[in-house]
Amino acid sequence: MDTIALYDTTLRDGTQGEHISFTVEEKLAIARRLDDFGVGFIEGGWPGSNPRDLHFFQLARRTPFCHARLAAFGATRRAGIGPEDDPNLAALLASGAEVVTVFGKAWDLHVETVMGNRLEENLAMIADSVAFLRQAGRTVVYDAEHFFDGYRANPAYALESLAAAAGAGAAWIVLCDTNGGSLPGDVAAATARVAAFLDTSPAGRPGAPPGIGIHTHNDCGLALANSLAAVGSGATMVHGTVNGYGERCGNADLTALVPVLQLKLGRTCVAEANLAKLKSLSRFVSETANQVPLNNRPFVGRSAFAHKGGIHVSAIAKEPRAYEHMDPTLVGNRRRVLVSDLAGRSNVAYKARELGVDLEANGGDARVILSQIKELEEIGFQFEAAEGSLKILLEKVTDQFKPLFELQSFRVSIEKDRDRPCSAHATIKIAVGEEEEITAAEGQGPVSALDNALRKALDRFYPDLDAMRLVDFKVRVIDGREGTAARVRVLIESRDQQEVWSTIGVSEDVIEASWQALADSFQYKLAKGAGSAKASPPGPTCP
Protein backbone atom coordinates (compact mmCIF):
# COMPACT_ATOMS: atom_id res chain seq x y z
CA MET A 1 0.00 0.00 0.00
CA ASP A 2 1.13 3.56 -0.70
CA THR A 3 2.03 5.55 2.39
CA ILE A 4 0.47 8.81 3.59
CA ALA A 5 2.34 11.06 6.03
CA LEU A 6 0.04 12.10 8.89
CA TYR A 7 0.53 15.64 10.17
CA ASP A 8 -1.48 16.43 13.29
CA THR A 9 -2.17 20.04 14.24
CA THR A 10 -4.53 19.48 17.18
CA LEU A 11 -2.12 21.24 19.54
CA ARG A 12 -1.97 24.38 17.38
CA ASP A 13 -4.79 24.72 14.86
CA GLY A 14 -7.12 22.66 17.04
CA THR A 15 -6.74 25.05 19.97
CA GLN A 16 -8.03 27.89 17.78
CA GLY A 17 -11.46 26.29 18.02
CA GLU A 18 -14.01 27.92 20.28
CA HIS A 19 -13.87 26.62 23.88
CA ILE A 20 -10.74 24.51 23.15
CA SER A 21 -7.71 25.11 25.35
CA PHE A 22 -4.94 22.90 26.70
CA THR A 23 -2.40 23.38 29.45
CA VAL A 24 1.23 22.61 28.69
CA GLU A 25 0.93 19.30 30.52
CA GLU A 26 -2.22 18.40 28.58
CA LYS A 27 -0.53 19.20 25.28
CA LEU A 28 2.34 16.92 26.20
CA ALA A 29 -0.05 14.11 27.17
CA ILE A 30 -1.89 14.44 23.85
CA ALA A 31 1.41 14.47 21.96
CA ARG A 32 2.39 11.20 23.61
CA ARG A 33 -0.93 9.61 22.67
CA LEU A 34 -0.55 10.81 19.07
CA ASP A 35 2.95 9.35 18.97
CA ASP A 36 1.66 6.06 20.38
CA PHE A 37 -1.00 6.01 17.65
CA GLY A 38 1.71 6.40 15.01
CA VAL A 39 1.32 9.99 13.78
CA GLY A 40 4.41 11.03 11.80
CA PHE A 41 4.37 14.79 12.47
CA ILE A 42 2.95 16.60 15.51
CA GLU A 43 2.65 20.37 15.30
CA GLY A 44 3.25 21.49 18.87
CA GLY A 45 2.40 25.18 18.54
CA TRP A 46 3.74 28.61 17.66
CA PRO A 47 6.69 29.29 20.00
CA GLY A 48 7.05 32.85 18.72
CA SER A 49 3.50 33.82 19.70
CA ASN A 50 3.09 32.81 23.36
CA PRO A 51 5.10 31.50 26.35
CA ARG A 52 2.91 28.39 26.74
CA ASP A 53 3.95 26.96 23.39
CA LEU A 54 7.59 27.80 24.05
CA HIS A 55 7.31 25.95 27.38
CA PHE A 56 5.76 22.96 25.60
CA PHE A 57 8.78 22.59 23.33
CA GLN A 58 11.11 22.88 26.32
CA LEU A 59 9.32 19.96 27.99
CA ALA A 60 9.00 18.00 24.76
CA ARG A 61 12.77 18.03 24.26
CA ARG A 62 13.05 15.87 27.37
CA THR A 63 10.29 13.48 26.22
CA PRO A 64 11.16 10.49 24.03
CA PHE A 65 8.95 9.98 20.98
CA CYS A 66 8.92 6.69 19.11
CA HIS A 67 7.28 7.61 15.81
CA ALA A 68 6.56 11.32 15.60
CA ARG A 69 8.70 14.29 14.70
CA LEU A 70 7.71 17.53 16.46
CA ALA A 71 7.06 20.58 14.30
CA ALA A 72 7.19 24.19 15.41
CA PHE A 73 4.88 26.57 13.56
CA GLY A 74 5.43 30.19 12.55
CA ALA A 75 5.35 32.79 9.82
CA THR A 76 7.91 33.77 7.20
CA ARG A 77 10.15 36.73 7.98
CA ARG A 78 8.61 40.15 8.17
CA ALA A 79 8.88 42.55 5.26
CA GLY A 80 11.95 44.75 5.17
CA ILE A 81 14.24 42.73 7.45
CA GLY A 82 16.56 39.78 6.94
CA PRO A 83 15.66 36.32 8.29
CA GLU A 84 18.58 36.46 10.73
CA ASP A 85 16.95 39.51 12.38
CA ASP A 86 13.42 38.14 12.57
CA PRO A 87 12.37 37.23 16.16
CA ASN A 88 9.75 34.74 14.96
CA LEU A 89 12.30 32.69 13.02
CA ALA A 90 14.69 32.90 15.97
CA ALA A 91 11.97 31.47 18.24
CA LEU A 92 11.38 28.62 15.79
CA LEU A 93 15.04 27.64 15.95
CA ALA A 94 15.15 28.11 19.73
CA SER A 95 12.29 25.63 20.11
CA GLY A 96 14.69 22.86 19.17
CA ALA A 97 12.06 21.25 16.94
CA GLU A 98 13.47 19.05 14.22
CA VAL A 99 10.75 20.17 11.80
CA VAL A 100 9.72 23.77 11.22
CA THR A 101 6.49 24.72 9.46
CA VAL A 102 6.27 28.25 8.11
CA PHE A 103 3.31 29.78 6.34
CA GLY A 104 3.36 32.37 3.60
CA LYS A 105 0.86 34.05 1.34
CA ALA A 106 -0.25 32.48 -1.95
CA TRP A 107 -3.11 34.90 -2.61
CA ASP A 108 -2.24 38.26 -4.14
CA LEU A 109 -5.27 39.78 -2.38
CA HIS A 110 -3.65 39.11 0.99
CA VAL A 111 -0.24 40.30 -0.13
CA GLU A 112 -1.31 43.64 -1.56
CA THR A 113 -4.56 44.50 0.20
CA VAL A 114 -4.32 42.89 3.64
CA MET A 115 -0.56 43.09 4.24
CA GLY A 116 0.10 46.18 2.12
CA ASN A 117 3.12 44.42 0.66
CA ARG A 118 4.61 44.03 -2.80
CA LEU A 119 4.26 40.75 -4.68
CA GLU A 120 8.01 40.53 -5.28
CA GLU A 121 8.81 41.11 -1.60
CA ASN A 122 6.37 38.38 -0.56
CA LEU A 123 8.22 35.87 -2.78
CA ALA A 124 11.53 36.97 -1.27
CA MET A 125 10.10 36.55 2.27
CA ILE A 126 9.14 32.97 1.45
CA ALA A 127 12.43 32.01 -0.17
CA ASP A 128 14.62 33.74 2.43
CA SER A 129 12.80 32.14 5.36
CA VAL A 130 12.87 28.61 3.97
CA ALA A 131 16.55 28.90 2.99
CA PHE A 132 17.48 30.30 6.43
CA LEU A 133 15.78 27.44 8.25
CA ARG A 134 17.25 24.86 5.89
CA GLN A 135 20.76 26.24 6.47
CA ALA A 136 20.11 25.81 10.21
CA GLY A 137 19.54 22.11 9.61
CA ARG A 138 15.76 22.01 9.91
CA THR A 139 13.30 20.07 7.80
CA VAL A 140 10.95 22.71 6.42
CA VAL A 141 7.25 22.27 5.76
CA TYR A 142 5.86 25.23 3.84
CA ASP A 143 2.15 26.02 4.33
CA ALA A 144 0.81 27.93 1.32
CA GLU A 145 -1.91 29.88 3.09
CA HIS A 146 -5.10 30.59 1.08
CA PHE A 147 -3.61 28.62 -1.81
CA PHE A 148 -6.86 27.58 -3.48
CA ASP A 149 -8.36 31.06 -3.26
CA GLY A 150 -5.12 32.46 -4.64
CA TYR A 151 -5.02 29.88 -7.42
CA ARG A 152 -8.55 30.79 -8.51
CA ALA A 153 -7.73 34.52 -8.51
CA ASN A 154 -4.21 34.50 -9.94
CA PRO A 155 -2.92 30.99 -10.73
CA ALA A 156 0.43 32.19 -12.07
CA TYR A 157 1.32 34.05 -8.86
CA ALA A 158 0.05 31.26 -6.60
CA LEU A 159 2.32 28.78 -8.38
CA GLU A 160 5.20 31.25 -8.28
CA SER A 161 4.87 31.42 -4.48
CA LEU A 162 5.20 27.63 -4.32
CA ALA A 163 8.26 27.74 -6.55
CA ALA A 164 9.88 30.21 -4.14
CA ALA A 165 9.53 27.73 -1.25
CA ALA A 166 10.46 24.68 -3.33
CA GLY A 167 13.53 26.35 -4.82
CA ALA A 168 14.76 27.29 -1.33
CA GLY A 169 14.63 23.69 -0.16
CA ALA A 170 11.22 23.05 1.46
CA ALA A 171 10.69 19.33 1.99
CA TRP A 172 6.91 19.64 1.76
CA ILE A 173 4.61 22.12 0.05
CA VAL A 174 1.23 22.12 1.78
CA LEU A 175 -1.79 23.49 -0.07
CA CYS A 176 -4.11 25.18 2.43
CA ASP A 177 -7.83 25.74 2.00
CA THR A 178 -7.67 28.32 4.76
CA ASN A 179 -11.20 29.70 4.35
CA GLY A 180 -12.70 26.25 3.84
CA GLY A 181 -14.65 27.35 0.78
CA SER A 182 -13.20 25.13 -1.94
CA LEU A 183 -14.99 22.25 -3.65
CA PRO A 184 -13.51 18.76 -4.21
CA GLY A 185 -13.33 19.09 -8.00
CA ASP A 186 -11.43 22.37 -7.75
CA VAL A 187 -9.06 20.93 -5.13
CA ALA A 188 -8.37 17.87 -7.27
CA ALA A 189 -7.64 19.94 -10.40
CA ALA A 190 -5.44 22.46 -8.57
CA THR A 191 -3.47 19.74 -6.77
CA ALA A 192 -2.85 17.89 -10.03
CA ARG A 193 -1.59 21.14 -11.57
CA VAL A 194 0.74 21.71 -8.62
CA ALA A 195 2.11 18.16 -8.89
CA ALA A 196 2.93 18.69 -12.56
CA PHE A 197 4.40 22.13 -11.84
CA LEU A 198 6.68 20.97 -9.00
CA ASP A 199 7.79 17.94 -10.98
CA THR A 200 9.72 20.28 -13.26
CA SER A 201 12.06 20.90 -10.27
CA PRO A 202 12.28 24.70 -9.79
CA ALA A 203 15.56 26.33 -10.69
CA GLY A 204 18.17 26.13 -7.97
CA ARG A 205 16.66 23.10 -6.25
CA PRO A 206 18.71 19.91 -6.35
CA GLY A 207 17.18 16.44 -6.33
CA ALA A 208 13.56 15.36 -6.25
CA PRO A 209 10.70 17.84 -5.99
CA PRO A 210 9.10 18.42 -2.58
CA GLY A 211 6.19 16.34 -1.40
CA ILE A 212 2.69 17.79 -1.60
CA GLY A 213 0.49 18.15 1.47
CA ILE A 214 -3.14 19.16 1.97
CA HIS A 215 -4.57 21.25 4.82
CA THR A 216 -8.35 21.74 4.75
CA HIS A 217 -10.99 23.47 6.86
CA ASN A 218 -14.59 22.37 7.19
CA ASP A 219 -16.56 25.55 6.54
CA CYS A 220 -18.55 23.87 3.75
CA GLY A 221 -18.58 20.47 5.43
CA LEU A 222 -16.07 19.29 2.81
CA ALA A 223 -12.77 19.06 4.68
CA LEU A 224 -12.70 15.26 4.44
CA ALA A 225 -13.79 15.22 0.80
CA ASN A 226 -11.28 17.91 -0.17
CA SER A 227 -8.43 16.06 1.58
CA LEU A 228 -9.33 12.86 -0.27
CA ALA A 229 -9.54 14.76 -3.56
CA ALA A 230 -6.03 16.13 -3.02
CA VAL A 231 -4.66 12.68 -2.16
CA GLY A 232 -6.21 11.35 -5.34
CA SER A 233 -4.34 14.01 -7.31
CA GLY A 234 -0.91 13.48 -5.79
CA ALA A 235 -0.82 14.75 -2.19
CA THR A 236 1.09 12.40 0.13
CA MET A 237 0.82 14.36 3.38
CA VAL A 238 -2.50 15.14 5.08
CA HIS A 239 -3.01 17.71 7.83
CA GLY A 240 -5.84 17.42 10.33
CA THR A 241 -6.88 17.42 13.96
CA VAL A 242 -8.31 14.77 16.25
CA ASN A 243 -12.12 15.10 16.26
CA GLY A 244 -11.88 17.89 13.69
CA TYR A 245 -11.27 20.58 16.31
CA GLY A 246 -10.25 23.94 14.88
CA GLU A 247 -11.36 27.51 14.34
CA ARG A 248 -14.79 28.28 12.92
CA CYS A 249 -16.15 24.93 11.68
CA GLY A 250 -12.95 23.02 12.36
CA ASN A 251 -10.27 21.16 10.42
CA ALA A 252 -10.23 17.85 8.58
CA ASP A 253 -11.04 15.19 11.18
CA LEU A 254 -8.27 12.60 11.42
CA THR A 255 -10.63 10.14 13.12
CA ALA A 256 -12.51 9.90 9.82
CA LEU A 257 -9.69 10.67 7.41
CA VAL A 258 -7.32 7.96 8.64
CA PRO A 259 -9.72 5.00 8.38
CA VAL A 260 -11.05 6.15 4.99
CA LEU A 261 -7.51 6.44 3.63
CA GLN A 262 -6.29 3.19 5.12
CA LEU A 263 -9.32 0.90 5.05
CA LYS A 264 -11.15 2.21 2.00
CA LEU A 265 -8.34 3.47 -0.25
CA GLY A 266 -5.48 1.23 0.80
CA ARG A 267 -3.16 4.11 1.75
CA THR A 268 -1.13 3.26 4.85
CA CYS A 269 -1.27 5.94 7.55
CA VAL A 270 -0.39 4.01 10.73
CA ALA A 271 0.49 0.43 11.64
CA GLU A 272 -2.54 -1.83 11.30
CA ALA A 273 -2.52 -2.69 15.01
CA ASN A 274 -2.50 0.99 15.94
CA LEU A 275 -5.69 1.69 14.02
CA ALA A 276 -7.61 -0.06 16.81
CA LYS A 277 -6.49 2.75 19.15
CA LEU A 278 -8.43 5.36 17.16
CA LYS A 279 -11.57 5.47 19.31
CA SER A 280 -9.63 5.70 22.57
CA LEU A 281 -7.48 8.49 21.09
CA SER A 282 -10.62 10.38 20.10
CA ARG A 283 -12.09 9.97 23.58
CA PHE A 284 -8.88 11.00 25.29
CA VAL A 285 -8.60 14.22 23.31
CA SER A 286 -12.28 15.11 23.79
CA GLU A 287 -12.04 14.54 27.54
CA THR A 288 -8.81 16.52 27.77
CA ALA A 289 -10.48 19.34 25.84
CA ASN A 290 -13.52 19.06 28.14
CA GLN A 291 -15.78 18.52 25.13
CA VAL A 292 -18.70 16.10 25.06
CA PRO A 293 -17.91 13.38 22.48
CA LEU A 294 -20.25 13.39 19.47
CA ASN A 295 -22.22 10.15 19.36
CA ASN A 296 -22.70 10.37 15.59
CA ARG A 297 -19.04 10.97 14.76
CA PRO A 298 -18.12 8.50 11.98
CA PHE A 299 -16.03 5.45 12.94
CA VAL A 300 -15.42 6.43 16.61
CA GLY A 301 -18.81 7.71 17.83
CA ARG A 302 -21.02 5.60 20.10
CA SER A 303 -23.70 5.58 17.40
CA ALA A 304 -21.38 4.80 14.48
CA PHE A 305 -22.25 1.10 14.62
CA ALA A 306 -25.54 1.29 16.53
CA HIS A 307 -28.64 -0.56 15.29
CA LYS A 308 -32.20 0.19 16.37
CA GLY A 309 -34.69 -1.35 13.94
CA GLY A 310 -35.66 -4.94 14.64
CA ILE A 311 -35.13 -6.01 11.03
CA HIS A 312 -31.61 -4.58 11.06
CA VAL A 313 -30.75 -6.37 14.29
CA SER A 314 -32.11 -9.67 13.06
CA ALA A 315 -29.97 -9.32 9.93
CA ILE A 316 -26.68 -8.43 11.64
CA ALA A 317 -27.12 -11.34 14.02
CA LYS A 318 -26.82 -13.54 10.92
CA GLU A 319 -24.35 -11.46 8.89
CA PRO A 320 -22.95 -8.12 10.19
CA ARG A 321 -22.05 -7.00 6.65
CA ALA A 322 -25.76 -6.73 5.90
CA TYR A 323 -25.92 -3.37 7.74
CA GLU A 324 -22.30 -2.45 8.54
CA HIS A 325 -19.76 -1.10 6.07
CA MET A 326 -16.81 -2.43 8.11
CA ASP A 327 -15.82 -4.32 11.24
CA PRO A 328 -16.03 -1.74 14.09
CA THR A 329 -13.22 -3.42 16.04
CA LEU A 330 -10.74 -2.29 13.36
CA VAL A 331 -10.98 1.26 14.77
CA GLY A 332 -11.47 0.23 18.38
CA ASN A 333 -15.25 0.64 18.35
CA ARG A 334 -17.98 -1.92 18.91
CA ARG A 335 -21.40 -2.86 17.61
CA ARG A 336 -24.32 -1.60 19.70
CA VAL A 337 -27.93 -2.71 19.56
CA LEU A 338 -30.46 -0.19 20.82
CA VAL A 339 -33.61 -1.13 22.68
CA SER A 340 -36.65 1.16 22.37
CA ASP A 341 -40.34 1.08 21.58
CA LEU A 342 -39.30 0.33 17.98
CA ALA A 343 -37.41 -2.79 19.04
CA GLY A 344 -38.28 -6.38 18.41
CA ARG A 345 -37.51 -9.50 20.44
CA SER A 346 -34.24 -9.87 18.54
CA ASN A 347 -33.12 -6.46 19.87
CA VAL A 348 -33.78 -7.48 23.46
CA ALA A 349 -32.09 -10.85 23.09
CA TYR A 350 -29.06 -9.38 21.32
CA LYS A 351 -28.75 -6.53 23.83
CA ALA A 352 -29.01 -8.86 26.79
CA ARG A 353 -26.14 -10.97 25.44
CA GLU A 354 -24.11 -7.82 24.82
CA LEU A 355 -24.70 -6.60 28.39
CA GLY A 356 -24.01 -10.01 29.91
CA VAL A 357 -27.57 -10.65 31.18
CA ASP A 358 -29.00 -14.16 30.92
CA LEU A 359 -32.63 -13.61 29.87
CA GLU A 360 -33.54 -17.24 30.43
CA ALA A 361 -32.46 -17.17 34.05
CA ASN A 362 -35.38 -17.44 36.48
CA GLY A 363 -37.82 -17.96 33.63
CA GLY A 364 -37.24 -14.68 31.80
CA ASP A 365 -39.22 -14.11 28.60
CA ALA A 366 -38.00 -11.67 25.94
CA ARG A 367 -41.58 -10.87 24.90
CA VAL A 368 -42.62 -9.98 28.46
CA ILE A 369 -39.48 -7.93 28.96
CA LEU A 370 -40.04 -6.08 25.68
CA SER A 371 -43.59 -5.30 26.74
CA GLN A 372 -42.35 -3.80 30.03
CA ILE A 373 -39.74 -1.72 28.17
CA LYS A 374 -42.40 -0.33 25.85
CA GLU A 375 -44.64 0.54 28.80
CA LEU A 376 -41.81 2.43 30.49
CA GLU A 377 -40.96 4.23 27.26
CA GLU A 378 -44.61 5.27 27.00
CA ILE A 379 -44.25 7.25 30.25
CA GLY A 380 -40.95 8.84 29.22
CA PHE A 381 -38.06 6.43 29.66
CA GLN A 382 -35.66 6.17 26.72
CA PHE A 383 -33.43 3.13 27.05
CA GLU A 384 -31.64 3.48 23.73
CA ALA A 385 -29.84 6.44 25.33
CA ALA A 386 -29.32 4.78 28.72
CA GLU A 387 -27.69 1.38 28.44
CA GLY A 388 -26.57 1.44 32.06
CA SER A 389 -30.18 1.69 33.25
CA LEU A 390 -31.26 -0.91 30.68
CA LYS A 391 -28.80 -3.44 32.09
CA ILE A 392 -30.14 -2.84 35.59
CA LEU A 393 -33.74 -3.13 34.34
CA LEU A 394 -33.01 -6.46 32.59
CA GLU A 395 -31.43 -7.77 35.79
CA LYS A 396 -34.41 -6.63 37.86
CA VAL A 397 -37.08 -8.21 35.67
CA THR A 398 -35.15 -11.51 35.66
CA ASP A 399 -34.50 -11.35 39.43
CA GLN A 400 -30.72 -11.08 38.94
CA PHE A 401 -30.18 -7.58 40.27
CA LYS A 402 -28.07 -7.37 43.43
CA PRO A 403 -27.95 -3.77 44.63
CA LEU A 404 -24.60 -2.77 46.07
CA PHE A 405 -26.25 -0.02 48.12
CA GLU A 406 -29.81 0.96 48.95
CA LEU A 407 -31.22 4.40 49.62
CA GLN A 408 -32.84 4.92 52.98
CA SER A 409 -33.51 8.64 52.53
CA PHE A 410 -32.08 11.91 51.28
CA ARG A 411 -32.80 15.57 51.88
CA VAL A 412 -31.73 18.44 49.63
CA SER A 413 -31.94 22.11 50.56
CA ILE A 414 -31.24 25.23 48.54
CA GLU A 415 -30.23 28.45 50.23
CA LYS A 416 -30.34 31.84 48.56
CA ASP A 417 -29.12 35.05 50.18
CA ARG A 418 -30.00 38.37 48.62
CA ASP A 419 -26.53 39.18 47.33
CA ARG A 420 -25.05 35.71 47.04
CA PRO A 421 -25.58 32.86 44.55
CA CYS A 422 -27.58 29.80 45.51
CA SER A 423 -25.87 27.08 47.50
CA ALA A 424 -27.04 23.45 47.71
CA HIS A 425 -26.74 21.01 50.62
CA ALA A 426 -27.60 17.30 50.60
CA THR A 427 -27.89 14.78 53.42
CA ILE A 428 -28.13 11.12 52.46
CA LYS A 429 -28.66 7.84 54.32
CA ILE A 430 -27.77 4.59 52.56
CA ALA A 431 -27.45 0.94 53.55
CA VAL A 432 -24.70 -1.37 52.36
CA GLY A 433 -25.58 -4.84 53.53
CA GLU A 434 -26.36 -4.58 57.22
CA GLU A 435 -24.49 -1.32 57.70
CA GLU A 436 -25.84 2.19 57.35
CA GLU A 437 -24.06 5.42 56.55
CA ILE A 438 -25.28 9.01 56.87
CA THR A 439 -23.31 11.81 55.23
CA ALA A 440 -23.80 15.39 54.09
CA ALA A 441 -22.15 17.42 51.36
CA GLU A 442 -22.42 20.68 49.45
CA GLY A 443 -22.51 21.21 45.71
CA GLN A 444 -22.94 23.78 43.00
CA GLY A 445 -26.55 22.63 42.63
CA PRO A 446 -28.86 20.00 44.12
CA VAL A 447 -27.68 17.17 41.86
CA SER A 448 -24.05 18.10 42.45
CA ALA A 449 -24.68 18.04 46.20
CA LEU A 450 -26.38 14.63 45.94
CA ASP A 451 -23.50 13.29 43.86
CA ASN A 452 -20.95 14.53 46.40
CA ALA A 453 -22.93 13.14 49.34
CA LEU A 454 -23.36 9.72 47.71
CA ARG A 455 -19.67 9.51 46.87
CA LYS A 456 -18.80 10.45 50.43
CA ALA A 457 -21.12 7.77 51.82
CA LEU A 458 -19.91 5.05 49.45
CA ASP A 459 -16.22 5.84 49.94
CA ARG A 460 -16.18 3.94 53.24
CA PHE A 461 -17.26 0.75 51.44
CA TYR A 462 -15.97 1.24 47.88
CA PRO A 463 -12.80 3.36 47.77
CA ASP A 464 -11.30 4.99 44.69
CA LEU A 465 -14.58 6.04 43.10
CA ASP A 466 -12.72 9.16 41.96
CA ALA A 467 -11.91 7.19 38.78
CA MET A 468 -15.58 7.69 37.89
CA ARG A 469 -17.03 11.06 37.02
CA LEU A 470 -20.11 12.56 35.44
CA VAL A 471 -19.44 14.05 32.00
CA ASP A 472 -22.91 15.10 30.84
CA PHE A 473 -26.28 15.92 32.43
CA LYS A 474 -29.45 16.55 30.43
CA VAL A 475 -32.96 17.45 31.59
CA ARG A 476 -35.95 17.41 29.26
CA VAL A 477 -39.60 18.16 29.93
CA ILE A 478 -41.51 15.28 28.32
CA ASP A 479 -44.85 17.05 27.99
CA GLY A 480 -44.96 20.73 28.89
CA ARG A 481 -48.77 20.99 28.99
CA GLU A 482 -48.74 20.25 32.72
CA GLY A 483 -46.53 23.27 33.36
CA THR A 484 -44.32 22.98 36.44
CA ALA A 485 -45.98 19.64 37.29
CA ALA A 486 -44.86 18.07 34.01
CA ARG A 487 -42.90 14.84 33.95
CA VAL A 488 -39.18 15.29 33.24
CA ARG A 489 -36.52 12.97 31.89
CA VAL A 490 -32.95 13.15 33.22
CA LEU A 491 -30.05 11.55 31.34
CA ILE A 492 -26.65 11.27 32.97
CA GLU A 493 -23.50 10.18 31.14
CA SER A 494 -20.61 8.90 33.25
CA ARG A 495 -17.18 7.56 32.48
CA ASP A 496 -14.14 5.90 33.97
CA GLN A 497 -10.84 5.04 32.32
CA GLN A 498 -12.33 2.12 30.38
CA GLU A 499 -15.91 2.96 29.47
CA VAL A 500 -18.65 5.54 29.02
CA TRP A 501 -22.20 4.67 30.11
CA SER A 502 -25.55 6.45 30.36
CA THR A 503 -28.42 6.18 32.85
CA ILE A 504 -31.93 7.62 33.02
CA GLY A 505 -34.57 8.76 35.47
CA VAL A 506 -38.17 9.92 34.93
CA SER A 507 -40.43 11.67 37.44
CA GLU A 508 -42.62 14.71 37.97
CA ASP A 509 -39.88 15.87 40.36
CA VAL A 510 -36.57 16.77 38.71
CA ILE A 511 -34.59 15.90 41.86
CA GLU A 512 -36.13 12.43 42.08
CA ALA A 513 -35.51 11.83 38.37
CA SER A 514 -31.92 12.96 38.84
CA TRP A 515 -31.53 10.61 41.80
CA GLN A 516 -32.81 7.64 39.76
CA ALA A 517 -30.24 8.30 37.03
CA LEU A 518 -27.48 9.03 39.53
CA ALA A 519 -28.13 5.88 41.58
CA ASP A 520 -28.21 3.70 38.45
CA SER A 521 -24.90 5.18 37.35
CA PHE A 522 -23.21 4.28 40.62
CA GLN A 523 -24.82 0.82 40.71
CA TYR A 524 -23.55 0.16 37.19
CA LYS A 525 -20.03 1.30 38.06
CA LEU A 526 -19.88 -0.68 41.30
CA ALA A 527 -21.13 -3.82 39.60
CA LYS A 528 -18.20 -3.55 37.20
CA GLY A 529 -15.85 -3.49 40.20
CA ALA A 530 -15.01 -0.29 42.03
CA GLY A 531 -11.55 0.47 43.25
CA SER A 532 -9.69 0.52 39.97
CA ALA A 533 -6.97 3.09 40.30
CA LYS A 534 -7.07 6.01 37.95
CA ALA A 535 -4.60 5.24 35.20
CA SER A 536 -2.17 7.70 33.75
CA PRO A 537 -2.29 8.21 30.00
CA PRO A 538 -0.06 5.60 28.42
CA GLY A 539 3.21 6.79 27.02
CA PRO A 540 4.91 5.70 23.82
CA THR A 541 5.05 1.96 23.27
CA CYS A 542 8.04 1.67 21.00
CA PRO A 543 8.53 -1.69 19.35
Q: CATH code at 433?
A: 3.30.160
- On whether residue 491 sits in a domain, the answer given is no
- On whether residue 194 sits in a domain, the answer given is yes
Residues 436 and 353 in one domain: no
440, 461, 482 — which closes off a domain?
461
- Give 417-463 pLDDT, tens digit per residue: 877 788 899 999 999 999 999 999 999 889 999 999 999 999 889 87
Mean pLDDT value of segment 105-112: 94
Q: What is the largest CA-CA distance in the chain?
A: 86
CATH code of residue 118: 3.20.20.70
> Within 13 A of 119's CA, how many CA atoms are on the CB side?
12
- On whether residue 489 sits in a domain, the answer given is no
Residues 10 and 36 in one domain: yes
217, 252, 270 — which closes off a domain?
270
Residues 213 and 257 in one domain: yes
Mean pLDDT value of segment 115-131: 95
Residues 206 and 144 in one domain: yes
The one-letter amino acid code at 442 reads E
User: What is the reported pLDDT for 530?
Assistant: 43
Residues 109 and 177 in one domain: yes
Residues 10 and 91 in one domain: yes
- On whether residue 526 sits in a domain, the answer given is no
Residues 93 and 181 in one domain: yes
Residues 118 and 224 in one domain: yes
- On whether residue 514 sits in a domain, the answer given is no
DSSP string computed for 22-76: --HHHHHHHHHHHHHHT-SEEEEE-TTT-HHHHHHHHHHTTS--SS-EEEEEEEP
- On whether residue 65 sits in a domain, the answer given is yes
Mean pLDDT value of segment 385-393: 85
Residues 314 and 241 in one domain: no
Choose between 542 and 80: higher pLDDT: 80
Residue among 348, 340, 344 at smallest CA distance from 382 = 340
- On whether residue 490 sits in a domain, the answer given is no
Return phi, psi of residue 213, to 5°: -115, 165
371, 397, 423 — which closes off a domain?
397
Look up the pTM and report it. Answer: 0.72
Distance (Å, whole) CA 386 – CA 518: 12
Q: Quote the number of domains for the chain.
A: 3
- Give 225-247 pLDDT, tens digit per residue: 999 999 999 999 999 999 999 99
Residues 140 and 19 in one domain: yes
- On whether residue 156 sits in a domain, the answer given is yes
pLDDT band at 536 (very low <50, low <70, confident <90, very high): very low
- Give 332-347 pLDDT, tens digit per residue: 988 877 666 555 666 7
Residues 119 and 169 in one domain: yes
Residues 212 and 354 in one domain: no
Domain region containing 446:
405-461
